[in-house]
Amino acid sequence: MGKNKFVFIPAGSVTTPQGFVASGITAGLKVSGKPDMAMVGSTVPANFAGAFTSCKFAAAPVILDRERVLQQDRIRAVIINSGNANACTGKPGYENAVKMCEIAAREMKIKPEEVLVSSTGRIGVQLPMSIIESGIVKAVAALSADGGPVAANAIMTTDTRPKATAVEVELSGGKVKIGGMTKGAGMIAPRMNVPHATMLCYITTDAAIDNKLLAQFAGNGADSSFNCINIDGDMSTNDTLILMANGLSGISVKAGTEDAEIFYAALLALMQQLAQEMVKDGEGVTKFVTINVKNAASASDAHKCAYAVSNSLLCKTAWFGCDPNWGRVIAAIGYSGADFKPENVKLDYNDRPVVRDAMDAGTPEKELAQLLKERDFTVNIDLGAGDADFTMWTNDITYEYVKINAEYHT
Dist. CA 323–CA 389, nearest whole Å: 26
Q: What is the DSSP string of 347-397?
A: EEETTEEEEETTEE----HHHHHHHTTSSEEEEEEE--SSSEEEEEEEE--
Q: Count the Cβ atoms, other than its own, within 10 Å of residue 256.
A: 8
Pairing outcome for strands 240-245 and 200-205: parallel
Sign (positive or negative) of CA dihedral 189, 190, 191, 196: positive
Sign (positive or negative) of CA dihedral 84, 87, 90, 95: positive
Dist. CA 54–CA 304, nearest whole Å: 18
**E strand map for 184-228:** 200-205
- Which one from 120, 157, 198, 363 is the annotated catalytic residue? 198
Dist. CA 23–CA 392, nearest whole Å: 33
Sign (positive or negative) of CA dihedral 130, 132, 136, 142: positive
C-alpha 216, offset from chain centre: 17
| CA neighbor of 390 nearest in space, from 228, 231, 220 | 228
Half-sphere exposure at residue 149, Cβ-oriented, CA atoms within 13 angstroms: 4
The DSSP letter of residue 208 is: B
Q: Contact, 202 vs 48, CB < 8 A?
A: no
> Is 198 known to be catalytic?
yes
| CA neighbor of 240 nearest in space, from 24, 47, 53 | 53
Catalytic positions, written as ranges:
198
